Amino acid sequence: MEIRQPAVAGMFYPESPQDLGNTVKSLLAIDDPITMVPKVLIVPHAGYIYSGTVAAKAYHLLEPLKSTIQRVVMFGPSHRVPFTGLALPAAEAFNTPLGMINIDKTAIEQAAQLEDVQILDIAHTHEHCLEVQLPFLQTMLTSFQLIPFVVGHASAESVANVIEHFWGGPETLIVISSDLSHYHPYQEAKAIDAATTEKIKQLDYHLHGEEACGCKPINGILLTAKRKGLAVTTLDTRNSGDTAGPKDTVVGYGAYALR
């Protein structure tokens, strides 16, 4: 079996299974009045000390769905490898310090036949945007299979068509991985991210890279949401100046749920 091994364990999150499990459980220990059953989560993908608290605001909503969700379809931007379309891995499983997650091989075979989709293992090998989501999912869900897409240069329509192909029912969760603005002063970043959040709430599927590094997958889900009549709930917006970094140059993070 070909297994995709962790690329950022020990950097973005703890490498020790015990430390990682304790860290994720601590992040998820949230006293939050928001209760909803999401179909889609948009979550950040920085190191846990920076964006873990924001991501947890989304993942804790999965508690009542622990045994319902059997399949997670993930979309995140390519940070290292330039390509056109959407990339699937050749691997049959993804490994994390918390254990193995099987890939839905049948779905991958179907997806590889879709327009703008290809098997491109190198796009996944060192990519962190999907990997950092997995320990949260492993903690919150009883058992699930994974369908992971890294998104390169792709239109909202291309991404939306793939999302809709795998939309499924209550057994399927869609996860979009993206940070918001990058490397602006604190107050400037807050203003940019507030405007981006408003666009997301309005289902404006024309975001660009200065607003969100994962603008391509976000645009795809917002177009899908418009087609399906979904609404966006903002769960949390912060930046690295609020969590674990200086305020002179920050990265923005947002957590959103769609249903």
Q: What is the pLDDT of residues 92-117, one digit of tens each?
A: 999 999 999 999 999 999 999 999 99
Taking the C-alpha atoms of residue 97 and residue 128, their distance in angstroms, rounded to an integer, is 14
- Encode 186-200: b = buried (16+ Cβ within 10 Å), e = exposed: beebbebbeebbebb
Quick one: average pLDDT of 135-164?
98
Taking the C-alpha atoms of residue 98 and residue 228, their distance in angstroms, rounded to an integer, is 35
| pLDDT grade for 217, boundaries at 50, 70 and 90 | very high
Which is nearest to 94 in space by CA: 145, 41, 48, 22?
145
Q: What is the pLDDT of residues 60-92, one digit of tens each?
A: 999 999 999 999 999 999 999 999 999 999 999
Quick one: tokens of 4? 């995709």
Distances (CA, A) of 77 to 36, 81, 87, 152, 200: 27, 10, 10, 6, 17
* Mean pLDDT over each residue of the chain, to the nearest integer: 97
Taking the C-alpha atoms of residue 47 and residue 51, their distance in angstroms, rounded to an integer, is 6
Taking the C-alpha atoms of residue 71 and residue 57, their distance in angstroms, rounded to an integer, is 20
Whether the predicted pLDDT of 182 surpasses 80: yes
| Cβ-Cβ contacts under 8 Å for 187 (sequence gap 6 or more) | none
Quick one: tokens of 228? 């399906």
Q: How many CB atoms lie within 10 A of CB 218?
A: 30
| Cβ-Cβ contacts under 8 Å for 253 (sequence gap 6 or more) | 44, 46, 50, 51, 54, 55, 179, 180, 236, 237, 238, 239, 240, 243
pTM of the model: 0.98
Whether the predicted pLDDT of 34 surpasses 80: no
Quick one: average pLDDT of 43-48?
98
Would you state the pLDDT for residue 91?
A: 96
In this prediction, what percent of the chain has a pLDDT beyond 90? 97
**Per DSSP, what are the bridge partners of residue 128?**
none
Quick one: average pLDDT of 228-243?
98
